[in-house]
Structure 1
Amino acid sequence: MLKKLGVLAATGMIMTALTGCGSSNNDLTTNKDTAKPGSEKAASGDTGLLNGAGSTFVNPLFSKMFSEYSKEHADVKVNYQSIGSGGGIKQLTAKTVDFAASDAPMKDDELKAAGGNVLHIPVTLGGVAIAYNLEGVKNLKLTPENIADIYNGKIKKWNDPKIAADNKGVALPATDIFPVHRSDGSGTTHIVTTYLNAAVPAKWTKEQTGKSVKWANVGTGAKGNEGVAGQVQNTPGSIGYVELAYVIQNNMTAASIKNKDGQFVAPTLETVTSAAKGALTTIPEDLKVKLSNQPGKDSYPIVGTTWVLVPENLTLDKAKAEKMLTMLKWAVTDGQKYAGELNYAPMPKELQDKGVEALKKVKVNGEAVLK
C-alpha cells in the first residue's frame, strides 16, 4: 500500500492537492501553462536569479530542493517552470532559460538545434505509477501487455477477461476504461512508452516511443503530471501514468505491475531503488542511464532518470554561471537527502560523483567555471 499523504505533508513541500487540470505554484516554482520562462531572464543583470524549465516528473523534488537552497543562499533564487521535458528543451534551445530538466535524453537533432554539446547531469531517479480511479478496487494487478492494450484501445472494459485473469477474487466492474495520457511533450511519456517497447515490443513498437507519440483514439490528454493526476482523480473508471510523488501526495491508488521476473510489484521507494541498483552497475560515459524493465524480483519496472541539461559552453555571465553550477552541484550531492522523503530514489554516490565531474566540464569563454 502506498504511503499516506501525510508522509509528503511532513516534508514541507510547497504544493497543494490537485484537482482537474490545475497546477501548484509558489514563489520559487510555477506550473502555469501560460508562464514564460524567459520573462525573468538574467539579462536584467540579476546574477542571483536562475531560470529553469522542463520536467514535471521532478517538480516536487525541485520545489523542495530550491526552497531549501535559497534558505542557505539568500542571494540565489530559482525560478523553475514545470512545463514538461519537451518544453524545457525548447526553452533551452531558445536560450530563454539557464538550464532545463528532462526525463528523456535529447535527440541528435535537438542537440544540433541547441547549438552543440548539452551535458546530461542525472539529478534523481523515480518511478512512474499507473494510477487508476475504480471504486472498491484497491489492489489491481496489471501486466505490460494489458497496459499496452488499454492504451492501444484493444481493452475497453475493466472486467475484460485479460485483466480479470490476473485479479482473481476482485470484483471488477463492467464499466468503460478511460485512459489518460500526456498532451504535452513529456519525459514521463518517454519513460512509459520506452518501458512498454522493452517489455512487450510486439504490442508497443519503437515508433510508439518518445516524448510525444500518436495515441489511439481513446481517452484524453492532459498537461503535466499535475494534469494527468487531476484527470484521474476526478474521472471514475480512468487510468493514467503519473510520477510516484504526485500519486502519494494526492492519495491516489496505483496498480502493481508485472516485472521482468514475473512478479507483481507496487511502486514504492524501495522497489524503485531495487530497479536502479541493477541498472547502475554500468554507467555510460554520457550518463544517459536506462532504468526501465530491470531484472530482480523486487524491482518495479517503470523507472526513469531526470537529467539537468546544461550547455557545455555557456553564454552566461561568469558570476551567474558559477552560482548556477554551484547550486546544481549541491542538488546532485547534498540535495539528495530530500529525495527519499519525497519518494524519489537518492542517487548512489558513484553517480553523484560522475555528475559533479560532468558539471566541471562547463565553460564560459573557454574557461571552466567549477574547479
Structure 2
Amino acid sequence: MTTVFKARIAAAVLAAATTFNVYATDITGAGSSFVYPVLSKWSGAYSTATGNRVNYQSIGSGGGIAQIKAATVEFGASDKPLSADELRKFGLGQFPIVIGGIVPVVNVPGVAPGALKFDGTTLARIFLGEIKTWNDPAIVALNSGVNLPDMKITVVHRSDGSGTTFNFTNYLSKVNNTWKTKVGEGTAVEWPAGVGGKGNEGVAAYVRQIRGGIGYVE
C-alpha cells in the first residue's frame, strides 16, 4: 500500500565508551526492532571475521534505552535520540547507523497493493478510532476508483516502548490537533483504539492475520 505520509528515521546506537573491551568474545546489545535485520547481518559478518560474537535483542527502543542506561548491555539502539543532558548523565555517546521510513500497512480484502492512499488528518482519525470502517467517506474521498468494503477497521499499534511509535505519534501530533491534545507523542502512549503487537514484526504479523487491519512499521 502507499500513502502520502513517510517519515525518514535515523536509528542511533547508544554506547558507553568505557564498557568496551577489544578482547571480549561476547558483545551484547538491545533495542530497536527496526534495525534488527541489518544488525543481524552485520553481527554475522563481524563474527565470521573476528570470532567474536554479538548478541542483539530486538526488544524495542524503550527497552534498549533502559538497558544501556542500566549498563546491562554494551550498546543500545533507538529510533528516538537521547538528549544531550541524558547522554551526559549516563556517560553515553550516540551516532546514527541507518535511515529508514515509517509507513502504514493494511489488510483490506479486494484492495490491490499500492492502491490505497491517506493524508495525515485521516490517518490520525483512524488511529483515534473516529473512522471505524474502510468505506468511510473520508477514506473514499482520497481513493477515487478504489472499491472500499464496508468492513470494520482494526488498529494495530506497538505494545512495547518504541522509537517507531515516538516518530509516528510525533507526526500525528503535528497534523491533527485532536491527536496532539488527547494522545500526544512518546515511545509509549495511551492508544485510544486497537490491539498491540510487540516490535515491527509483531505489528506486521497482526495486520496479516486481521482482515481490515491497519498498523505502522519501519
Do they superpose with TM above 0.5? Answer: yes
Greater relative contact order (CA < 8 Å, ≥ 6 in sequence)? 2
| Alpha-carbon offset, residue 226 of structure 1 | 1.1
Selected match of 2:147 from 171, 196, 212: 171
Selected match of 2:197 from 218, 222, 225: 222
Equivalent residues in 2 for 1:96-245, closer than 5 Å: 96-107=72-83, 111=87, 115-138=89-112, 139-198=115-174, 200-205=175-180, 208-216=184-192, 218-243=193-218
Q: Structure 2: how far apart are the matches of 1:67 and 1:129?
A: 28
TM normalised by structure 2 equals: 0.84
| Alpha-carbon offset, residue 42 of structure 1 | 8.9
- Please name the residue that 1:68 is paired with: 45
The residue type paired with residue 119 of structure 2 is T
| Alpha-carbon offset, residue 100 of structure 1 | 0.3
TM normalised by structure 1 equals: 0.50
SS class of match (2:147): coil
Q: Does 1:47 align with 2:24?
A: yes
- Structure with bigger strand share is 2
Distance 1:222 1:109, change over 3 A: farther
SS class of match (1:181): strand
| Alpha-carbon offset, residue 146 of structure 1 | 0.9
Distance 1:153 1:109, change over 3 A: farther
- Figure out how many residues of one structure are paired with residues of the other and give that number: 199
SS class of match (2:80): coil
Conserved? CA contact 2:120–2:176, under 8 Å = no
Q: Structure 2: how far apart are the matches of 1:235 and 1:215?
A: 18
Conserved? CA contact 1:53–1:97, under 8 Å = yes
| Alpha-carbon offset, residue 90 of structure 1 | 0.9
Conserved? CA contact 1:225–1:242, under 8 Å = yes
Q: Structure 2: how far apart are the matches of 1:136 and 1:119?
A: 48
The residue type paired with residue 191 of structure 2 is W
| Alpha-carbon offset, residue 202 of structure 1 | 1.8
Q: Structure 2: how far apart are the matches of 1:161 and 1:71?
A: 55
The residue type paired with residue 45 of structure 2 is E
Residue identity over aligned pairs, in percent, reads 48
Q: Does 1:57 align with 2:31?
A: no
| Alpha-carbon offset, residue 68 of structure 1 | 1.6
Q: CA RMSD in A?
A: 2.3
Structure 1 stretches of 5 or more lacking a match? 3-40, 244-371
Q: Structure 1: how far apart are the matches of 2:84 and 2:188?
A: 16
Structure 2 stretches of 5 or more lacking a match? 3-18
The residue type paired with residue 134 of structure 2 is W
Q: Structure 1: how far apart are the matches of 2:150 and 2:39?
A: 41
- Please name the residue that 2:9 is paired with: none
| Alpha-carbon offset, residue 109 of structure 1 | 7.7
> Runs in 1 of length 4+ with deviation above 4 angstroms?
107-112
